[in-house]
Chains A and B, each alone.
Chain A
Amino acid sequence: MTQLPGAETRPALFQCKMASIMSAEAMRAGAAVAAVKRRSASRASTLYLFALPATLLFVVFVAYPILWVAEQSLYAGKTDGGVVFAGLANYTTILSDPTFWIVVRNMALWGAITIPVQMLIGGLLAYFIERHTHALRGFFRTMFFLPVVTSVSVISLVWVQIYAPYYGIAQEYLKHIGIVMMTSPIGDPKTAIYALIVVNIWQWTGFSMLMYIAGIANLSSEVLDAARIDGARGWRLAVHVIVPMLAPATKSLLLLGVIGTLQTFPIVHLMTGGGPNRASEVFGTFIFKQSFVLGDTGTGAALSVIVLVVALALSLIQIAVLGARLSPAGREES
């Protein structure tokens, strides 16, 4: 029992009463602490319950398929339909296949061109729409965002027609200035990948624009006003104040761009099928051909694992180098 300071000078009865009150208080306090602990434990278990659905979804739809694919990558198919353990043979087969290195080159080109160009054009569009349009702002936002929500099949069909020489859409206009297209850019192994990159940029620039619009909308007006008072105007304001403040949106686009690059499939599949002669092959089409056209699930799975590892490594490097402030609003996201 705890004794209060100075309590020894008081009468015994008082001391006794005090002792019993203190004892009751201590018990109540102990009970309260226990109750808080119980509530805290109960709250923690409730919180875990809240996380359970997401965890289950992650395990069933993400973690399990990844492990399944990783396991498949260690097996090779037999002619009787069975499988045999192949160790890392599928990986060595893939890495020694010249097509793999064509794919790596194409993916590097894809990322190196599409990500900065989309960010640059998207950023400029966002700046001009937000700063220089008023009544038609919604119209311009919608128009430039439209390709993002348009079906890839439609986009592919239209762009194949645009690129077609002789009877194509572009040719119809070019002939008025005396230009005759002799080949289709997607039919020439030297230009096919660049022609597809142009289509990808056309489709996804609207997304970059939207991200930057969100970023611009969240810019602090006090900072902008202060910059103006300090004499920053026009280009200087844009480059030295707005662009740095949009860094979180830029980082998000960079991260999403790298992941998007590695996931590229429908445009290439529909427009060139990875051809001519594999010149425009990307990871998506290569995995598809190995797994579904050639029926070689082992090498298809090995390729998928390689792409996963590359995506993970690139994402971690970006987060380590650029930090994790990724939301357009600039909030820390963990």
Chain B
Amino acid sequence: MRKMLFLATTILAAALSSAANAEQKEVTVWSWFVQSTMQKSIAAFEKAHPDIKVNYTYYNYSPEYITALKAAAASGSLPDVIGLQPGSLTQQYRENLEAVNERAAKQWGDKWAEKVFPVNRKQMLMGNPKGDENYYIIPQESQVLCIWYNRKIFEKLNLSPPKTYADLKAAAKALTDGGYIPMFQGAADGWQNENVFLMLANQFAPGITDKAQAGEAKWTAPELVAAMKAWKGLFDDGIFQQGALGAHAYPTGAQLFAQGKVGMMALGSWWMQESKFPPPLSEFVQNMDGFDFFYLPPVKDGNSASPPVGGIDIGYGLTKNGGKKPEAWTFLAELTNGVGLQEALNDLNDLPAFDGNAPKGDITDHVKDMSARFMADLPKAENQRFASPAVAEALDNALAGVAAGSIEPEAALATVQAATEKALAAK
């Protein structure tokens, strides 16, 4: 009798549970986005949409995330929503993604794209076949690249943010003499090298790298050769630390920078999130008290300081699987321009991709000021992304080769030109 009672109770409980689950819809999401921040965004979303449950899977970007995406795409088992970078990553999965134009127009109005910062909008279409004006990625966050400096160390050494290349060299020397790493460059990472090169190139001719990757200018153009020589100069003139080519920006460089052992580092607006990480935090990172930023000063007489360079930090795509579930779009929309985004901004993860959003909550005036300066620069930012991974890869190799002294700037840029021509021909 007891057994019968137990069985009946179990069946009833299972039936009730499955009935409850049937009412709650589920959305699956994969990304490399900071897990703690994503959990806050998901909690806010689920509070606003109690009938939808979000299952988030976090991956390290490389190699875990990109290999997981590849395997899932091959087997048709991609989740509903996937984290994407604009350009090459989005293009690799374009066939597995839904165009979101109509959904976005329905959600945010016909002129929704105008609310997205121009550089982001450009990147959203990057790499699309000619004539394809569909958006396959909705950006969540933007970034602006810059040179961060430790203002407490600068103050201690009577330094001010460099305005000229001579200032920069003098600051690097003073920092080195003071026992600090002058400017930490994780030159073993292609992305950080690309970022600094883009700052330099856009200083010589704004927008030239975009033209070069589109085939409208040559990578061997005098401005880009000059930028490549200036890049080599950053190593030779002691701006970067010794042995930079074997160093990684994360975690090594970021840790040293946060600990106050580094004077300057080329990062971006995302660095502000350090102040929101769990304690203990260093005196420099606490409320970002120790940090401020500047743009790379002119490396040649007649140049201006580097313009803001940036664009989409992370965006999300709706997969074909997710396209069958209205709740997947609901989540994507809230994550990129709704309650989910707000949580990410409050965590200072980065800048918004849609205009009209700003961080709220427990943020100091200093952080608010820096955030406002980034936001003011974002609309005029130059593009930092590449449409073709082969071109980015060729540039990474060229930058490393020139920095190591194993190839001359002109020859190195010729390899990038060759890669660009090949990529454009394949298109």
Contacts and interface: CB of A to CB of B under 8 A. Distances in A.
Given A183-B246, A188-B245, A295-B88, A81 B95 contact: yes
A166 B181 contact: yes
Contacts of B187: 187, 276
Which of A182, A183, A185 has the most B CB atoms < 10 Å from its CB? A183
A187 B244 contact: yes
Contact of B94 (A81, A157, A184): A81
Q: A interface, by DSSP: helix, strand, loop or mixed?
A: loop
Interface string A180-196: 01111111110010000
Interface stretch (B342-350, B374-382, B403-411): B403-411
A187 B427 contact: no
B389 A293 contact: yes
Contact of B247 (A181, A182, A184, A294): A184
Contacts of B426: 79
A289 interface: yes
Which of A164, A181, A288, A289 has the most B CB atoms < 10 Å from its CB? A164
Nearest to A277: B401
B66 A277 contact: no
Nearest to B132: A80
Given A276-B404, A295-B389, A80 B245 contact: no
B206 to A, nearest CB: 28
A182 B244 CA distance: 10
Nearest to B261: A167
B9 interface: no
Interface residues of B, number: 42
Contacts of B243: 163-166, 168, 181-184, 187
A292 B70 contact: yes
Contact of B66 (A181, A186, A292): A292
Contact of A160 (B66, B248, B398, B401): B248
A289 B95 CA distance: 21
B63 interface: yes
A252 B14 CA distance: 54
Contacts of A15: none
B245 A187 contact: yes
B242 A276 contact: no
B406 A277 contact: yes
A187 B404 contact: yes
Contacts of A298: none
A141 interface: no
Which of A165, A184, A277, A289 has the most B CB atoms < 10 Å from its CB? A277
B427 A79 contact: yes
Nearest to B89: A295
A288 B406 CA distance: 24
A272 interface: yes
Nearest to B73: A81
Contacts of A183: 242-243, 245-246
23 contacts: A80-B95, A160-B247, A160-B248, A163-B246, A164-B243, A166-B241, A167-B261, A181-B242, A186-B188, A187-B246, A188-B245, A189-B404, A192-B246, A273-B190, A275-B245, A276-B187, A276-B400, A277-B407, A279-B406, A292-B67, A293-B393, A295-B88, A295-B92
In the A-B complex, list the 5 residue pairs whose CB atoms are closest, starting with the nearest: A184-B246, A187-B245, A187-B246, A81-B95, A184-B243
Given A166-B181, A187-B244, A292-B67, 5 more contacts: A157-B251, A164-B247, A183-B243, A277-B400, A291-B70
Interface of B: 62-63, 66-67, 70, 88, 91-92, 94-95, 129, 181, 187-190, 241-248, 251-252, 256, 261, 389-390, 393, 396-398, 400-401, 403-404, 406-407, 426-427
